[in-house]
Homo-oligomer: A and B are copies of this chain.
Amino acid sequence: MDHLLAEAPGRSLAYHAGRHASLQWRAFVAALARTLYDNAEDGDADAFLREVGTNMARALPLPQVATLEELEAAMNAKWADLDWGWVRLREGTGDVGIVHGATPTGFAEDTGGTWGRASVPLLEGLYTEWFAAQQGPSHLAVSLVGERAEPLHLRYGR
């Protein structure tokens, strides 16, 4: 049984991750992402999704906070309400590192992973707006660091 017990955390994580996105919306979200990238240039689809993220952030306003710790807590409170995972923030040199895990992606209906891809510009737009609403207009934006992975590694900076 030792093997079964040792592999259990990975099995449980995969179990939860594959069921995390509400069944009610998986088919819609997967079809939406596929239709979007089939119809538009990749850059246009990404830009559209960033704007959806901006609008989501405006519909989910955060309180004004004083510290990065409070900002992380405010973001996690919103994510907990929606069940969209968790975030950690870390001050860098001239930027802020963002690690976002347990996004509702990775379900079987998303054949090809198009929604997984779409979630990146969506979250870029959303976090950019959340930071902008704290700090006022700037030239800073949130963008992916490296390749898309679970968790996502993003940064807010130039």
**Neighbouring B residues of A157 by C-beta, 8 Å:** none
Tell me how many chains of this kind the complex includes.
4
Establish whether residues B12 and A83, one from each chain, have CB atoms under 8 Å apart when the complex forms: no
Minimal beta-carbon separation of A50 from chain B (angstroms): 10
Minimal beta-carbon separation of A101 from chain B (angstroms): 5
Segment of A63-71, A85-93, A131-139 in the binding face: A85-93
Establish whether residues B52 and A32, one from each chain, have CB atoms under 8 Å apart when the complex forms: yes
Known A12-B13, A20-B16, A39-B48: A59·B86 in contact at CB below 8 Å: no
Known A12-B102, A17-B16: A1·B90 in contact at CB below 8 Å: yes
Closest to A103 in B: B12
Tell me the A34-70 residues at the B interface (CB within 8 Å): 34-35, 39, 48, 51-53, 55-56, 59-60
**Neighbouring B residues of A31 by C-beta, 8 Å:** 52-53, 55-56, 59
Closest to A97 in B: B1
- 4 pairs of A and B residues whose beta carbons are closest in the complex: A16-B16, A22-B22, A31-B55, A31-B56
